């Protein structure tokens, strides 16, 4: 698509000038690609009629995905053959575009191309690519990603399924030794899948080599389970009815040795285990690490669901009047009520904030998985960032969709207004691709590791006076956005109380302090717990709520840094002024939620804290006239919203 | 049922001793009635299979309600004829029992018996009772409650539908003058209803007399719309698929004059409007006030949904292990994780807290609607209490069900585990029978009225030095439970920082201070706004968030008072010790959520505030061994939970 086409598309949407600029700013470095996706996505018929039963929903979803794949919105980014071009950016942006519409289709595409295709691409080698990727991308071969087991959801290392090498026949035996080893919640398992990437403990000559994955055929051409394979249908769910989640068990199923996805570890022709990564733990995390794209996608998909819901609720609030008031005989527009503004506008600010951070996350993914050289540290940081963004954005999506539903009253409960389907579909985003609470633990674990490294590095360089503060700062200042935030914070650090409540330096200082101090105190408590001598599980278990707090504080800091960078990059004066306010609203809402913490830790006076609520109200009031543009900026084309309550 | 039968029923459920005592305590003054309901409720087949489509769901729901009505669980509490016995207690407890199971059935019963039957009972006179109540209670006559209009949800006073008296034919003409006047979201309107109580502006001889209600036939025996009536089907919803919500419009439909429900105002034989209540405003609120039972029921129903969800998630967390840990090779029970305890146990404490307050609310309803003499002030206080409890409990239900879903991971998303249907069904509880945000405004309005009255009363008695503090205290100390809380608060008021964090006096002092101070400051701001001279709407609009805060603070104080009273009434030593901890957990969780407010208003030191989190953790740890008994105490029989994840 040429630039002229893009302009025509925007014109067709009839965006306000401000809305167009806000959209460009929020789309950020991927504005051109996103505009192209919006202009070419076949939006008609994009939402499944809600009355459909399970089988009909599955039929519809599969057919829709085939049509989208044919239109270039399915396997985009997945290479079609060995040596083919894998484009992580195209993959992520395509997923995001799909998430503007039916989420069953989105998730089914994620299962087929992201998980099934992604595992073959990333864990397999040339033979696997040549043999299977053409079928994956054309959807002739539908497959599942069989990692989770009934007994082991978040705890992948404890998977019970075994992949045992049989030297006599040069085969792998795939086996589910217990009911708890049953693969569960596997998309494409209940009906459509013909094959699955099955994760299990690789056993060679009696020795265990940890979790590996193999390609295992599930069904014959007519859809009957192959010998030894038992598939199960998990039936009706709270949403995503179009995805056929099911169970898989294997009773000593044999596949040829080469079906093992052996990029990071495999069995050679002599029947010996070989891996370039000697440390089994490092190998395990390297293998899992290649799957990070799924988390980037799911977080971004959740964000789109939130934006859709907020678009519907805000557009409704700009039409709907209720209760006459002095000077307003026809009733007051919902969005003119301060209480209603407080429900929606801070959520919109947060949607923008996460959008900017998601852009930074995508850039990190492209850096690591693209053609540039990248380090193991880059990879590890990407995983942490992706884990945090997935948890943060999907929790946010649930909250935003529910608030939007309530803000639309009874109309919000009618399925014709899209919100209840969104709510049901997005619910599970908080659980799949990693339970959010567990992901937040991962974030903090990574921060603690960095913290220990920074500490010992300082120690080695002889800085014996190294304060924990210096260590904390070293941990935080890696990215350009982080450095920018840190410079801002420096302007407020000396006399924070002399700043205004919308001073960006003060916001930066506050969110940095929250992360730094809570991380330092957690590290101290961890050390004390390690020395405690009591039950080590209990000692660390008690730090659980603190661990969650640190992860949240970190993600809020990273998000603010990204938002500030986006504001700085905006060249349109009017849009920038609006973004400044949105950024302040986000920062203040974040600080307000933890203002007890700031008061307890003497980072803010009571008088200042008391003023935050009024300042938030003032920002809402200032943003209120731009509400439509804010919605347009979130990027969901009006024509894609089918909610009946927006019709005349 | 005899006492022996009840004991047998408990034995059949095999409750722990502690669980049985906790249940008795939480059931409170209605323990016998609730035990009887649990023992006699036909629980088998109580949940609708989730795969059913709309029509099948409606069929199932109607059939189930007929069966329950035949078993004594339908029209219970509705009189069957003029002069018959209306028993508000039986009605409320029956609704609550129904809410242990399928919520479509519960809501359909609420529409038929509570709203349709309730309006005839409360707004009609002997002729209406004789003519229609037998059909209502036998379910031969199914009806709707047509108050809400598309254009007027919360704003009942602005209804556009007209009920015009036609002297020539001695009829009422029912008319929908605009599309916005369309009755919407009306249960029983889409399919089953043959008649509706239609609210509209009564016009007699060209004069408007405000909102009244008339009985209007909708369909003939074959289900066809009667001439002038247009019914519409609002189709698929986010839940409650078994309830046939629809629209109604009237094109100059005529009904005999006597179809007007004229207990509080009507047209006499000479065609003249007559009412015993001269003030139209008072008449309006008197008519609406008789419908308070619906709010009592909906709040209590929401509470039962929360208890069911928490029962499932907690029982699951007592079975499910994840991640091995030192000394725990088979994995750690979910409920042994502090983070998991923090997710579920404070919600359970809150479920108990609201249960005690709901008991107090039911008692107030019985007092006002029962045979005792009661005052207009009693009625007004009941309405405020009911509004607040409805909002508080239904928001809580949404939160608790979602947390329970996430706490059950992927399994929580499978419909076979009940939680997603609960989530979908209970969602709309936050909107119907009064939007929660609007209801909370009503609560604060009532408090402000009391406040002004108390102020002027003090003024009249010459207490010129009356401090606002004295006024605030006068407003709060009406009930026995309130007085008990106030005595407790007095013990801590002088030296609050010398108490422990589990000192009940300190809890009482804190929640009283929160309400008193925020109410006083709101009253001050209201006065200032009134004098401001600017746009009066905007002046009050800006106080919206403050208004919500006051309502919440009030409800938390009232809830704590009820909880304390329940703890005091418990005679079993072990159960009482557990209730004490639950009460502390509830109080601390409530204080913790607003600890920024307490710090800002100098009601707590930073050091004390910092200790609250650890104290909450400690309480969770102390309650953890009693988790099963806590679940039993919430009163949902294990056998009524069909969640597959609880099976072996």
Q: What is the pLDDT of residue B473?
A: 61
Residue A428 CB-half CA count within 13 A? 25
Q: What is the pLDDT of residue B481?
A: 86
* Among candidates B53, B238, B428 on the partner chain, residue whose Cβ is nearest the Cβ of A415: B238
Mean pLDDT of chain A: 93
Strand ranges, E, within A218-362: 229-233, 246-250, 253-256, 266-267, 273-274, 321-322, 332-333
Strand-pairing partners, residue A159, are none
Low-confidence ranges of chain B (pLDDT < 50): 1-3, 462-466
Strand-pairing partners, residue A260, are A214
- B326 at the A interface (CB within 8 A)? yes
pLDDT tens per residue, range A118-157: 999 999 999 999 999 999 999 999 999 999 999 998 899 9
- B609 at the A interface (CB within 8 A)? yes
- Kindly identify which residue of chain B lies nearest to residue A417, measuring between CA atoms: B237
Which of A566, A561, A554, A559 is closest to A488 using CA atoms? A561
C-alpha dihedral, A605 to A606 to A609 to A615, nearest 10°:
-100
Strand-pairing partners, residue A164, are A173, A203
Q: What is the pLDDT of residue A289?
A: 86
- B346 at the A interface (CB within 8 A)? no
DSSP state of B309: H
> Residues B248, B186: contact at Cβ < 8 Å?
yes
Q: Residue A249 above 90 pLDDT?
A: yes
Residues A29-54, mean pLDDT to the nearest whole number: 94
Question: B212 vs A422, B113, B146, B200, CA distance in Å?
Answer: 39, 20, 11, 6
pLDDT > 70: percent of chain A: 95
Q: Is A53 within 8 Å of B54 when comparing Cβ atoms?
A: no
Q: Domains along chain A?
A: 3-138 (1.10.540), 146-280 (2.40.110.10), 292-434+636-646 (1.20.140.10), 438-464+471-625 (1.20.140.10)
How close does chain A come to B321, measured CA to CA in Å? 8
- A404 at the B interface (CB within 8 A)? no
* Among candidates B326, B431, B606 on the partner chain, residue whose Cβ is nearest the Cβ of A600: B606
Question: A127 vs A81, A124, A254, B439, CA distance in Å?
Answer: 9, 8, 19, 65
> Residues A620, A626: contact at Cβ < 8 Å?
no
DSSP state of B446: H
Q: Report which secondary-structure segment, H or E, holds A125.
A: none
Q: What is the pLDDT of residue A460?
A: 56
Length of chain B counted residue by residue? 648
> Residues B426, B433: contact at Cβ < 8 Å?
no
Q: Report which secondary-structure segment, H or E, holds A313.
A: helix A292-317
Decide: helix, strand or coil at residue A93: helix
Decide: helix, strand or coil at residue B246: strand
> Residues A321, A306: contact at Cβ < 8 Å?
no
Query: What is the 3-state secondary structure of A510-567?
Result: HHHHHHHHHHHHHHHHHHHHHHCCCCHHHHHHCCHHHHHHHHHHHHHHHHHHHHHHHH
Q: Is B544 within 8 Å of A398 when comparing Cβ atoms?
A: no
Interface subset of A 175-234, CB within 8 angstroms of B? 184-185, 234
- A542 at the B interface (CB within 8 A)? yes
Q: What is the pLDDT of residue B479?
A: 79
Among A149, A190, A399, A431, the strongest candidate for a mutation testing the B interface, having the largest count of B CBs within 10 A, is A431
Q: Is A606 within 8 Å of B602 when comparing Cβ atoms?
A: yes
Q: CA-CA distance, A354 to A551, in Å (whole number)? A: 15
Decide: helix, strand or coil at residue A441: helix
- Kindly identify which residue of chain B lies nearest to residue A234, measuring between CA atoms: B414
Q: CA-CA distance, A628 to A14, in Å (whole number)? A: 12
How close does chain A come to B413, measured CA to CA in Å? 5
Size of interface A-B (CB pairs under 8 A): 209
DSSP state of A224: P
Q: Residue A404 above 80 pLDDT?
A: yes
Q: Kindly list the residues from chain B whose CB atom is less than 8 angstroms away from the CB atom of residue A430.
A: 406
- A548 at the B interface (CB within 8 A)? yes
pLDDT bracket for residue A473 (50, 70, 90): low
Q: What is the pLDDT of residue B465?
A: 46
How close does chain B come to A203, measured CA to CA in Å? 21
Q: What is the pLDDT of residue B463?
A: 47
pLDDT bracket for residue A532 (50, 70, 90): confident
Per-residue tokens: B207:
């004069």
Phi, psi of B118 (to 5 degrees): -65, -40
Decide: helix, strand or coil at residue A115: helix
pLDDT bracket for residue A459 (50, 70, 90): low
> Residues B250, B174: contact at Cβ < 8 Å?
yes
Strand ranges, E, within B257-402: 266-267, 273-274, 321-322, 332-333
Q: Is B337 within 8 Å of A544 when comparing Cβ atoms?
A: yes
Give the ipTM. 0.94
Instruction: For tokens 């509830």, name the residue.
Output: B586
Q: CA-CA distance, A135 to A144, in Å (whole number)? A: 13
Q: Kindly list the residues from chain B whose CB atom is less than 8 angstroms away from the CB atom of residue A53.
A: 51, 53
- B414 at the A interface (CB within 8 A)? yes
pLDDT tens per residue, range A353-377: 999 999 999 999 999 988 888 898 8
DSSP state of A239: S
Q: What residues contact residue B504 under an 8 Å CB cut-off, 6+ apart?
A: B488, B564, B583, B584, B587
This prediction's pTM: 0.95
> Residues A275, A199: contact at Cβ < 8 Å?
no
Question: A576 vs A25, A593, B36, B178, B260, CA distance in Å?
Answer: 9, 25, 66, 43, 60
* Among candidates A328, A413, A610 on the partner chain, residue whose Cβ is nearest the Cβ of B428: A413
Q: Is A599 within 8 Å of B601 when comparing Cβ atoms?
A: no
Q: What is the pLDDT of residue A509?
A: 97
Instruction: For tokens 């009904």, name the residue.
Output: B255
Strand-pairing partners, residue A272, are none
Question: B563 vs B344, B350, B556, B569, B617, CA distance in Å?
Answer: 19, 10, 10, 10, 21
Question: A391 vs A439, A555, B129, CA distance in Å?
Answer: 7, 10, 57
Per-residue tokens: A572:
């349109």
Question: A77 vs A86, A135, A253, A302, CA distance in Å?
Answer: 5, 15, 32, 20
Question: A271 vs A168, A203, A280, CA distance in Å?
Answer: 10, 11, 18
- A615 at the B interface (CB within 8 A)? no
Decide: helix, strand or coil at residue A603: coil
How close does chain A come to B166, measured CA to CA in Å? 29
- B505 at the A interface (CB within 8 A)? no
- B434 at the A interface (CB within 8 A)? no
- B430 at the A interface (CB within 8 A)? yes
Q: Where are the alpha helices (DSSP H) in B115-205?
A: 118-123, 126-138
Residues A455-474, mean pLDDT to the nearest whole number: 56
* Among candidates A50, A185, A236 on the partner chain, residue whose Cβ is nearest the Cβ of B415: A236
Q: CA-CA distance, A300 to A396, in Å (whole number)? A: 11
Q: CA-CA distance, A512 to A601, in Å (whole number)? A: 13
* Among candidates A185, A537, A544 on the partner chain, residue whose Cβ is nearest the Cβ of B410: A185
Question: A519 vs A42, A472, A504, A557, CA distance in Å?
Answer: 47, 8, 22, 13
- A239 at the B interface (CB within 8 A)? yes
* Among candidates A148, A336, A431 on the partner chain, residue whose Cβ is nearest the Cβ of B406: A431
> Residues B81, B130: contact at Cβ < 8 Å?
yes
Q: CA-CA distance, A345 to A340, in Å (whole number)? A: 8
Q: Is A428 within 8 Å of B410 when comparing Cβ atoms?
A: yes
- B608 at the A interface (CB within 8 A)? no
Q: Is A548 within 8 Å of B398 when comparing Cβ atoms?
A: no
Q: CA-CA distance, B519 to B401, in Å (whole number)? A: 31
Q: CA-CA distance, A270 to A262, in Å (whole number)? A: 15
- Kindly identify which residue of chain A lies nearest to residue B418, measuring between CA atoms: A238
What does DSSP say about strands B273-274 and B266-267: parallel, antiparallel, or unpaired? antiparallel
Q: Is B413 within 8 Å of A402 when comparing Cβ atoms?
A: no
């Amino acid at each position: 698509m040429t630039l002229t086409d893009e302009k025509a598309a925007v014109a067709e949407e009839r965006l306000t000038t401000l809305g167009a600029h806000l959209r460009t700013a929020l789309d950020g470095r991927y504005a051109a690609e996103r505009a192209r996706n919006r202009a070419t996505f076949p939006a008609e018929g994009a939402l499944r009629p809600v009355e459909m039963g399970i089988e009909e929903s599955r039929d519809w979803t599969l057919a829709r995905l085939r049509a989208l794949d044919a239109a270039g919105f399915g396997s985009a980014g997945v290479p079609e053959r060995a040596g083919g071009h894998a484009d992580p950016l195209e993959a992520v942006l395509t997923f995001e575009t799909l998430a503007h519409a039916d989420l069953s289709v989105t998730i089914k595409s994620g299962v087929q191309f992201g998980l099934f295709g992604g595992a073959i691409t990333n864990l397999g080698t040339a033979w696997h690519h040549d043999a299977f990727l053409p079928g994956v991308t054309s959807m002739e071969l539908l497959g599942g990603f069989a990692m989770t087991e009934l007994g082991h959801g978040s705890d992948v290392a404890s998977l019970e399924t075994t992949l045992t090498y049989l030297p006599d026949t040069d085969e792998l035996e795939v086996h589910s030794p217990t009911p708890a080893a049953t693969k569960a919640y596997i998309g494409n398992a209940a009906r459509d899948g013909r094959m699955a990437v099955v994760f299990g403990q690789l056993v060679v000559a009696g020795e265990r080599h940890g979790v590996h994955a193999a390609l295992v055929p599930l069904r014959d051409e007519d859809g009957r389970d192959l010998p030894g394979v038992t598939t199960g249908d998990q039936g009706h769910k709270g949403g995503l009815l179009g995805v056929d989640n099911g169970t898989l068990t294997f009773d000593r199923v044999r596949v040829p040795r080469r079906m093992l996805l052996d990029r990071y570890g495999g069995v050679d022709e002599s029947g010996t285990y070989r891996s370039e990564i000697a440390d089994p733990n490092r190998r395990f995390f390297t293998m899992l690490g290649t799957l990070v794209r799924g988390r980037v996608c799911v977080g971004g998909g959740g964000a789109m669901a939130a934006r859709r819901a907020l678009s519907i609720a805000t557009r409704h609030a700009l039409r709907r009047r209720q209760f006459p008031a002095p000077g307003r005989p026809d009733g007051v527009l919902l969005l003119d009520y301060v209480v209603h503004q407080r429900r929606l506008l801070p959520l919109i600010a947060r949607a923008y904030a996460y959008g900017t951070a998601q852009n930074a996350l995508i850039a990190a993914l492209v850096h690591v998985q693209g053609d540039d050289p990248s380090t193991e540290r880059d990879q590890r940081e990407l995983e942490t960032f992706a884990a945090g963004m997935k948890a943060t954005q999907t929790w946010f999506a649930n909250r935003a969709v529910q608030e939007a539903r309530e803000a639309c009253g009874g109309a919000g409960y009618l399925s014709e207004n899209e919100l209840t389907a969104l709510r049901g579909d997005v619910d599970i985003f908080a659980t799949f691709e990693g339970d959010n609470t567990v992901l937040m633990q991962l974030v903090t674990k990574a921060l603690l590791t960095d913290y220990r490294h920074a500490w010992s590095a300082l120690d080695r360089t002889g800085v014996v006076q190294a304060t924990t503060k210096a260590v904390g700062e070293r941990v935080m200042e890696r990215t350009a956005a982080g450095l920018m935030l840190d410079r801002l914070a420096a302007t407020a650090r000396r006399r924070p109380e002399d700043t205004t409540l919308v001073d960006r330096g003060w916001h930066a200082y506050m969110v940095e302090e929250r992360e730094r101090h809570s991380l330092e105190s957690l590290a101290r408590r961890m050390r004390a717990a390690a020395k405690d001598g009591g039950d080590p599980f209990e000692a660390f278990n008690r730090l659980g709520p603190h661990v969650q707090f640190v992860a949240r504080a970190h993600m809020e800091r990273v998000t603010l840094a990204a938002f500030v960078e986006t504001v700085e990059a905006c060249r349109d004066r009017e849009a920038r002024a609006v973004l400044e306010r949105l950024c302040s609203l986000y920062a203040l809402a974040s600080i307000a939620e933890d203002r007890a913490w700031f008061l307890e830790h003497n980072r803010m006076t009571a008088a200042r804290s008391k003023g935050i609520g009024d300042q938030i109200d003032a920002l809402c009031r200032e943003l209120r006239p731009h509400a439509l543009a804010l919605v347009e900026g979130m990027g969901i084309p009006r024509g894609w919203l089918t909610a009946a309550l927006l019709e005349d």
